[in-house]
Amino acid sequence: MSENQWQDEIYRVLKSHDVRHIAYVPDAGHSAAIKLAEADNEMTSLVLTTEEEGIGYLAGVHLGGQRGALLIQSSGVGNCINTLALNQMARIPLLMVVTMRGDWAEFNPWQNPMGQATETVLRSMGVLTWRADAPQDVVPLLNGAAGMAFNGDQACALLLGQRLIGEKKWVK
């Protein structure tokens, strides 16, 4: 898979699982999927002011009989912690795709605390997690996570590592 083709593939995989709602807080790693979602008349895209809004929104989407996904950055996982009780207690499916910061080759050390805690925190709140660090892992891992989320009423997260996304260029 060519460099960054995986970004388009994420959107294709989500569509193949009948995802009709994309709730997001933007990140460069999600820019392709967000752009595709915003341009797609069959997709409802929802920009959030903070990530936990997406947990509530997608719970409502599930109650209303449809599927959605939450695209966020690892720092936003911290904002979701308490709200994730909803998924665990009500067995409401949740599919999260999380771009990592503070993970590898991070320039801004202030990203490190939440980045290093992201997977631990998700697991502590009952979310199943997988990590993709190579392009060829993205599609199979996302397929598996989506299947377990929607067929099992389970909260699932795919973490996209910084080795996959590439180093953020701080000086142009």
Partner 1 sequence: MGEVTVLDRRAAVATLLEGRRDMLVVTGLGSASYDVMAAGDHAMNYYLWAAMGSAMTVGLGLAMTQPDKSVLVITGDGEALMGFGALATIAVKAPRNLTIAVLDNGHFGETGMQESHAARGIELDRVAEACTFPRTLRITTMEEVEVLRGHVAARDALTLASVKIRADNPPRVLPPRDGPYIKNRFREALGFSPI
Q: Which stretch binds partner 1 (CB under 8 A): 29-37, 51-59, 105-113, 158-166?
A: 51-59
Dmax over CA atoms of the chain, in Å, equals 47
Q: Contact, 101 vs 162, CB < 8 A? A: yes
* Footprint (CB under 8 A) of partner 1, residues 138-167: 151-153
Q: Contact, 104 vs 161, CB < 8 A? A: yes
Helix axes 5-16, 31-39, angle to 10 degrees: 50
Tell me whether residue 128 or residue 139 sits nearer to partner 1 (CB atom): 128
Tell me whether residue 20 or residue 168 sits nearer to partner 1 (CB atom): 20
Least distance in angstroms from the C-beta of 11 to partner 1: 19
Please identify which residue in 1, 28, 38, 50 interacts with partner 1, judged by CB under 8 A: 50
State the residues that interact with partner 1 by CB under 8 A. 21, 44, 46-50, 52-66, 68, 82-83, 85-86, 89-92, 151-153
